Structure 1
Amino acid sequence: MENNMQKVKVVVADPSAIGLFGLAMVTLVASSQKLGWTSGTSLVIPWAIFLGACAQLYASVLDSKHNNTFGTTAFGGYGFFWLGVAATWLIQAGVFGDALKAAADPKQLGVAFLGYFIFTFFMTIGAMETHKVLFAIFVLIDFLFIGLTLTSFGIAHDFSHGLAAWSELAIALLSFYGSAAAVLNTHFGKQVLPVGKPFGIFK
């Protein structure tokens, strides 16, 4: 008796456009608060959950169907990051009670941001073989986490806070460009917005 196996290929769209859009939106709104253009985090939380988290996690799932380990890990990692950030803001706002708010140690955030800097650093190396716009976004995310880490540990506060704020705004603007390129280049079947070729160092 012969066992016949059939492989079915499921075709899904490139999720980088929606993933980068989610990143662009949440960093734009969050950077406005860091730069003092807006105040508080209450109305940043919905964007952190739905755009920062849900949009990127959705992109992560679709990238896994492309067998794209890099995209799955990047979008998934940062999607879960924004869920953590949203939960942190809720704790700081006292939503889960005054006792939990009072017990919050900002240095623990610094440790978490340091962990995400390590993650982003090796993902930046991987981004060198995607395209130059994405590589630049990852470099900016490196600077963002350096700034957030130093700020959380109370080191050179004004400098580190400014570094995080301006890096986050630059991430937003470049991510909008990357998302637009992913949509328009695919939609028109030609290069409308250039993103730069991979560096080709590791391949």
Structure 2
Amino acid sequence: MSHSLNEIEAMSKRAARGAGLAWGLAEEAAKGTRWLSAFSFPGTEMLAGLLALNDRLPAVDFSPATLTGRWSAPAGRMSPLIAGAAMSDCAIRMEAGQVIEMENVSFPLLVVPFAGGAALRLGVPVSVSWEGVKLTTDGQRLCVQGARDAILTMHATQLSCAAPAAMTGQSEPVMRADVDEAAWAKLGEFAHRTYAPATESSRLLGAGSGLSDND
């Protein structure tokens, strides 16, 4: 089924929040999902898979233990959202020629939108690479190298981010995206957690209650 990018972003934000992410990170997750969807990647499937994997678990377990050397997380798998946000914050290091390296990143494609944000701030393209894959972006366009199965992997043993990088074979974003129905339903389940439960008073005041205050 097809959804607008606005619909994808709104659903993703509420789902990320329902899965326990802080509002700021939920907003970044939603923007990243929208960004990937605009380039015809299954951003909603990636996000749904990640939220299910780390559902309600402490974020610190999937965060980089240190931002020096090769990054790794205490749980043995790293959240691409947390790692991506940290990479973007450390983007100036890449401008100085440093390659940011990470270990055991879940759903590594979700790191790429953060590279887009870093590229816009640095003013140069940023590449994200893992086993057999290299995606390069200037924030507005995306260059893709690697087999689709490798790009959509659930786990990357090693991932690196570098700048500046060369842009070749560029693709442009679109305004709507096809969304997997199962992934959309899963995001809806997470999003439902953010809805306030009905109370007796809200039910009595609901539409069609048959009550009137014109006594």
TM over 0.5: no
TM-score by length of 1: 0.30
Give 1 or 2: higher helix fraction: 1
TM-score by length of 2: 0.29
Give 1 or 2: higher strand fraction: 2
